[in-house]
Amino acid sequence: MRKPGLIVSNGIKVKPMSVNQSYLGRKVKSAAYHKYEKLVLSILEFDPVPEKGLLEIDFVFGVSSKLADLDNPIKALMDLLQKLHTFNDNRVFKLSAVKKLVPKGEEFFHYSIFPYAGNINLKLEDILSV
């Protein structure tokens, strides 16, 4: 079902490129990342995620600049969440992300993890024919 006010809907039969394929050589985590990881993992509490089944994750990012890219924090945060909650992120079949503007110094992130019950078998033609 299409959402009202659709601006663009398009697709092509080209395999999506992964972040790993986008870079030459091995990605090395920065000292800032390691400091951030230690901080985040020391604050967030472990909540068990079922060992089996597909997952859906919703993110809300409170950013102090409207120029901040919505997708920038997702990969690093996904890596931290799978470490904290002991799941493999290849089980995530749906992501949603929202960016909210907040005053400088009040930045935040929020996430929710759900079981995913959507259809995982779909062809491009199924989407374009709606």
Q: Is the pLDDT of residue 94 over 80?
A: yes
Q: Is the pLDDT of residue 36 over 90?
A: yes
Q: Is the pLDDT of residue 11 over 80?
A: no
Q: Identify the three-state secondary structure at position 120.
A: coil
Q: Quick check: 53 and 109 in contact, CB under 8 A?
A: no
DSSP 26-88: -----HHHHHHHHHHHHHSPP----SSS-EEEEEEEEES-TTS-TTTTHHHHHHHHHHHHT--
Average pLDDT over residues 68-96: 94
DSSP 84-112: HHT--GGGEEEEEEEEEE--TT--EEEEE
The pLDDT-based confidence of 7 (bands split at 50, 70, 90) is low
Q: Cα Rg for the chain, rounded, in angstroms?
A: 17
Taking the model in full, what pTM does it have? 0.85
Q: Is the pLDDT of residue 29 over 90?
A: no
Which pLDDT score, from 0 to 100, does residue 4 have?
A: 80
Q: Is the pLDDT of residue 1 over 60?
A: no
How far apart CA 105 and CA 125 sit, in angstroms, is: 46
Which pLDDT score, from 0 to 100, does residue 34 have?
A: 92
Which pLDDT score, from 0 to 100, does residue 89 have?
A: 95
How far apart CA 91 and CA 97 sit, in angstroms, is: 17
Phi–psi pair at 126, nearest 5 degrees: -65, -40
Percent of the chain with pLDDT over 70: 96
